[in-house]
A = this chain, B = another copy of it.
Amino acid sequence: MSSDTGSLTHIDESGAARMVDVSEKDVSARTATATGRVLLAPEAVAVLRSGDVPKGDALGVARIAGIMGAKRTPDLVPLCHPIALHGVKVELTIVDAGVEISARVKTADRTGVEMEALTAVAVAGLALIDMIKAVDPGAVITDVKVEEKTGGKTGRWSRPDAG
């Protein structure tokens, strides 16, 4: 419906913010995948890669933070509906430029879970920066975006520029 894709559905006719009514939407299986990156100085990447430092733990803390962050989405994003989550997976991969993050969230509910996936990536990125900021105070979270979502009335959407 054009009003769903061409207007700010969180805002009613008078311009006031509201949590939109999803009562009429079907309960359906829904997934969303989001990705992002934390750009780090070479020194910081070396520390994460080094056998001398427990890199697994730094990534591990960020992974847990991302999963817990997905659960906090309705507390953080004012107009998000509180929904059940059926599964959350957060992956962090060290690359030359820093750390790549991806999050995949599943549910069966009346609203999509792209905000939960984006929140998982953003919070994992924040936690990673917190772990590494003594080494690299200039770390940058970048390219946090939805890659794909499935389910609901609109079905599958995938990012046009995604390979």
Mark A residues whose CB is within 8 Å of B.
Answer: 4-12, 15-23, 29, 36, 47, 53-54, 56-58, 60-61, 63-65, 67-72, 74-91, 106, 108-110, 114-115, 118-119, 122-123, 125-127, 129-135, 137-146, 149, 157, 159-160
Residues of B with C-beta under 8 A to A143: 140, 142
Given contacts A7-B135, A76-B126, contact A20 B61 (CB under 8 A): no
Residues of B with C-beta under 8 A to A81: 84-86
Copies of this protein in the complex: 6
Pairwise interchain contact A20-B53, C-beta atoms closer than 8 A:
no
- Minimal Cβ-Cβ distance residue in B for A24: B86
Pairwise interchain contact B141-A118, C-beta atoms closer than 8 A:
yes
Residues of B with C-beta under 8 A to A91: 16
Pairwise interchain contact A18-B88, C-beta atoms closer than 8 A:
yes
A105 vs chain B, min Cβ distance (A): 9
Pairwise interchain contact B106-A133, C-beta atoms closer than 8 A:
no
Q: Secondary structure of the A side of the interface?
A: mixed
Pairwise interchain contact B141-A61, C-beta atoms closer than 8 A:
no
Q: Give which listed residue, B61, B149, B159, contacts A79 with CB less than 8 A.
A: B61
Pairwise interchain contact A87-B141, C-beta atoms closer than 8 A:
no
Pairwise interchain contact B67-A106, C-beta atoms closer than 8 A:
no
Q: Give which listed residue, B64, B85, B142, B160, contacts A17 with CB less than 8 A.
A: B64
Bound: A72/B67 CA distance, A = 16
Pairwise interchain contact B65-A77, C-beta atoms closer than 8 A:
yes
A144 vs chain B, min Cβ distance (A): 4
Pairwise interchain contact A141-B145, C-beta atoms closer than 8 A:
yes
A118 vs chain B, min Cβ distance (A): 6
